[in-house]
């Protein structure tokens, strides 16, 4: 039965996740995966999350099936987070939101919906992008291409090159966009560039699929969602994949949401029905626990305020580490462009480390980074930063 099976290696993030877990060296440090750890190097249990969890457990509700699309308060809260309080689209009834199995599940169901509607369409992802984007859309049957995105000279996004490439895509192509905190580079488009991109997508008949896995880690919850809001205001039809893994520090609970914006309520109802059917055929119903926690936090004024505060503190702590890391590395290697780490946003930075340097970092210094040079700044703290800087310095020197 299995004789003809081909090798099926995991993507580099999960390969290193497994290698890290199996590594017995006591000083090992994982900067390869996107997980935020606090000042003491621990994955935090957020205060609001702990309180919501207590309230949920105290209710001792029966563990029945959750609606395929998730509960209404959860879906409303997701939409409010994406589109902003009082946004016109919330009353227009054009947006369908379905709870998903993390951000990956949202991308997967969204890709399946698109595969039914636009079989044979091209999907364009940024070069570089999160390892799983290409795989998810390829598995859904699409041909995946890429558009230039990163400017290695400046450490920022190369919008002119991206724009020029999008202009050549055939109408009906699907374009995957990182709403904020670009993974893996940390290089985001400016507000002016988004303002230019949104009408361009509309004019060219391209289908936007926004991935927003790090809302709150860039500038703040509202500013990070601004690209989603611009698309909503433009009247376009588009897709959004939300993840609550990082913003609620609920990685293992797999809470996310897929939002599909249609032209009118009738179309919304149709596409929602299709998405529900595809969920039913994939995993039937979503999980309860994590989504209930997110729902409680987002719908309780005090818990929500406390969550926003703690999220802001996580963001500021990452920013402090960015500045320290960029300054120290730039001082030692002024020609390597390490200063960009300071202005990049979110949990990651593209450090410009070569594959050989990343391997040395891992093998000789017990610090895991992706061989593309992506480093998770969110796992650096005041206790390990000197060691990280020294290790990168040594790895660069060879």
Helices (H), the chain: 12-22, 47-59, 72-83, 88-92, 102-117, 131-139, 159-167, 191-204, 221-224, 226-234, 265-282, 289-299, 301-332, 340-343, 355-365, 385-397
Smallest separation (angstroms) from ligand LMR to the CB of 317: 18
Closer CB to ligand LMR, 104 or 328, in the complex: 104
Torsion (CA) 329, 334, 339, 341 in degrees, nearest 10:
-40
Q: Are 100 and 110 in contact (CB under 8 A)?
A: no
- Cβ-count burial 143-167 (b if 16+ within 10 Å, e if not): ebebbbbbbeeebbbbbeebeebbe
Smallest separation (angstroms) from ligand LMR to the CB of 176: 14
* Cis previous bond, 128, omega within 30: yes
Q: Are 174 and 207 in contact (CB under 8 A)?
A: yes
Smallest separation (angstroms) from ligand LMR to the CB of 50: 23
**Would you give the DSSP letter of residue 251?**
G
Closer CB to ligand LMR, 169 or 321, in the complex: 321
Smallest separation (angstroms) from ligand LMR to the CB of 11: 7
Residue 130 bears catalytic tag: yes
Catalytic annotation, pick one of 112, 130, 188, 307: 130
Catalytic annotation, pick one of 108, 246, 307, 345: 246
Closer CB to ligand LMR, 13 or 95, in the complex: 13
Smallest separation (angstroms) from ligand LMR to the CB of 106: 13
Closer CB to ligand LMR, 132 or 349, in the complex: 132
Residue 350's beta-bridge partner residues? 374
Residue 246 bears catalytic tag: yes
Residues that bind ligand LMR (CB under 6 A): 13, 33-34, 130, 132, 183
Residue 270 bears catalytic tag: no
Closer CB to ligand LMR, 130 or 150, in the complex: 130
Q: Which residues are designated catalytic?
A: 130, 211, 246
């Amino acid at each position: 039965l299995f004789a003809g099976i081909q090798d099926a290696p995991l993507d580099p993030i999960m390969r290193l996740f497994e290698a890290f877990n199996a590594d017995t060296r006591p000083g090992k440090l994982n900067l390869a995966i996107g997980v935020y750890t606090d000042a003491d190097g621990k994955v935090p249990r957020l205060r609001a999350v702990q309180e919501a969890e207590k309230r949920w457990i105290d209710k001792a509700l029966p563990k029945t099936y959750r609606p395929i699309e998730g509960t209404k308060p959860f879906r409303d809260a997701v939409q409010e987070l994406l589109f902003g309080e009082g946004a016109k689209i919330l009353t227009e009834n054009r947006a369908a939101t379905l709870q998903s199995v993390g951000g990956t599940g949202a991308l997967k169901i969204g890709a399946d919906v698109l595969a039914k509607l636009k079989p044979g369409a091209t999907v364009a992802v940024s070069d570089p992008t999160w390892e799983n984007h290409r795989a998810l859309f390829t598995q859904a049957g699409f041909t995946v291409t890429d558009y230039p995105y990163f400017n290695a000279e400046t450490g920022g996004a190369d919008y002119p090159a991206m724009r020029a490439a999008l202009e050549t895509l055939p109408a009906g192509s699907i374009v995957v966009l990182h709403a904020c905190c670009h993974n893996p580079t940390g290089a985001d488009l400016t507000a002016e560039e988004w303002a230019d991109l949104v009408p361009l997508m509309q004019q060219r008949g391209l289908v936007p699929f926004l991935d927003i896995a790090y809302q709150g880690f860039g500038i703040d919850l509202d500013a990070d969602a601004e690209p989603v809001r611009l698309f909503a205001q433009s009247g376009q039809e588009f897709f959004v994949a939300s993840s609550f893994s990082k913003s609620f520090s609920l990685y293992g609970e797999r809470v996310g949401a897929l939002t599909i914006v249609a032209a009118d309520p009738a179309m919304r109802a149709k596409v929602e029905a299709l998405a529900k059917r595809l969920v039913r055929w994939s995993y039937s119903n979503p999980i309860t626990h994590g989504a209930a926690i997110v729902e409680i936090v987002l719908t309780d004024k005090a818990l929500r305020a406390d969550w926003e505060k703690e999220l802001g503190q996580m963001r500021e702590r990452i920013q402090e580490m960015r500045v320290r890391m960029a300054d120290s590395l730039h001082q030692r290697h002024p020609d390597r462009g390490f200063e960009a780490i300071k202005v990049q946003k979110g949990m990651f930075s593209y450090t410009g480390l070569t594959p050989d340097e990343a391997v040395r970092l891992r093998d000789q210094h017990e610090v895991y980074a992706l061989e593309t040079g992506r480093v998770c700044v969110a796992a650096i703290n005041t206790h390990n930063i000197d060691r990280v800087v020294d290790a990168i310095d040594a790895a660069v020197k060879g």
